[in-house]
């Protein structure tokens, strides 16, 4: 058998002539020209914060089991500009550029379409190890749609909240406020049902960590007046729980990060209202 394999190998090698070999001239490397959007991303995010924004399609970056599409180029820079104004700059103003450079994720990945799950839910964003945030449904971006903007930027604040608490954990007392009400089937609850129990959203019922960052996100995409209107639509018991969670979030930002979240909330709200 060894002799037969050796003969076959020899025949195979002899059958490959010099003309059949692949030379360097036949290897092609894609050269991507830099456009004005790339320059904007480099000047605004990469150079000051060592951060990249990936918008060109990279199949290895997304879940192959999902039907996902790349973002439209005309949506990319307008979204980037708002990310800088509504997310990056407010943190720079209150915590400084060193904080942002150290803790901001090093990659934002833009995906054009929503990420639908088999259970009927939609994943609006993903954070991976504090280094990367994926933003879905970029093609739906519309600067004139304030509610949609709140939803999309709520995803950023939500995912950045994960990065912050994974770096400096919040107090266990937060988990006790609605202990026994967390559920893996959070999607069976409607928004008002969750609110009445003391959660800012149904997804906040998934776990204490999701509850914590959802509370952060809802505070930061709403003015203080709008935040209070929302939580006052709860039951008396739900409102009590929501105010307790708010107090812990405020204390967490102040003690752990030396950030007044109410000031951060006001800066972001003012920027959103100016759009």
What local confidence, expressed as pLDDT, does residue 240 receive? 98
Domain spanning 168-275 has what CATH number? Answer: 3.40.390.70
Element (H, E) at 128: strand 125-128
| Local confidence band at 21 (pLDDT 50, 70, 90 cut-offs) | very low
Average pLDDT over all residues of the chain: 85
Q: Say if 35-145 and 168-275 have the same CATH topology.
A: yes
CA atoms of 145 and 235, how far apart (whole Å): 30
What percentage of residues in the chain have a pLDDT greater than 70? 83
Annotated domain spans of the chain: 35-145, 168-275
Q: Which residue has the tokens 């949506």?
A: 75
8 compared with 233, residue with greater pLDDT: 233
> 35-145 in CATH: which number?
3.40.390.70
The pTM for the full model equals 0.81
The span from the CA of 132 to the CA of 130, in Å, is 6
pLDDT at 121: 76
Burial 162-185 (b: 16+ CB within 10 A, else e): bbbbeeeebeeebeebbeebbeee
Q: Are strands 115-116 and 122-123 parallel, antiparallel or unpaired?
A: antiparallel
In the DSSP assignment, the letter for residue 168 is S
């Amino acid at each position: 058998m060894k002799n037969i394999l050796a003969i076959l190998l020899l025949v195979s090698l002899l059958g490959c002539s010099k003309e059949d070999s692949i030379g360097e001239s036949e290897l092609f490397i894609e050269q991507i020209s830099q456009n004005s959007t790339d320059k904007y991303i480099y000047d605004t995010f990469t150079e000051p914060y060592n951060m990249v924004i990936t918008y060109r399609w990279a199949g290895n970056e997304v879940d192959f089991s999902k039907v996902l599409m790349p973002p439209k180029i005309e949506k990319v820079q307008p979204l980037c500009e708002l990310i800088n104004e509504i997310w990056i700059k407010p943190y720079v103003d209150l915590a400084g550029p060193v904080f942002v450079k150290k803790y901001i994720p090093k990659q934002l990945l833009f995906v054009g379409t929503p990420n639908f799950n088999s259970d009927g839910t939609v994943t609006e964003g993903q954070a991976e190890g504090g280094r990367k945030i994926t933003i879905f449904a970029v093609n739906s971006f519309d600067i004139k749609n304030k509610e949609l903007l709140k939803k999309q930027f709520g995803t950023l604040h939500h995912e950045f909240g994960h990065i912050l608490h994974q770096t400096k954990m919040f107090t266990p007392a937060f988990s006790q406020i609605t202990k026994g009400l967390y559920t893996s089937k959070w999607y069976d609850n409607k928004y008002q049902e969750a609110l009445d129990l003391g959660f800012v959203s149904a997804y906040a019922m998934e776990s204490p960590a999701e509850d914590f960052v959802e509370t952060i996100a809802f505070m930061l995409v709403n003015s203080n007046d709008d935040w209070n209107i929302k939580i006052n639509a709860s039951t008396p018991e739900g409102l009590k729980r929501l105010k307790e969670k708010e107090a812990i979030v405020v204390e967490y930002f102040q003690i752990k990060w030396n950030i007044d979240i109410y000031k951060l909330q006001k800066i972001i709200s003012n920027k959103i209202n100016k759009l």
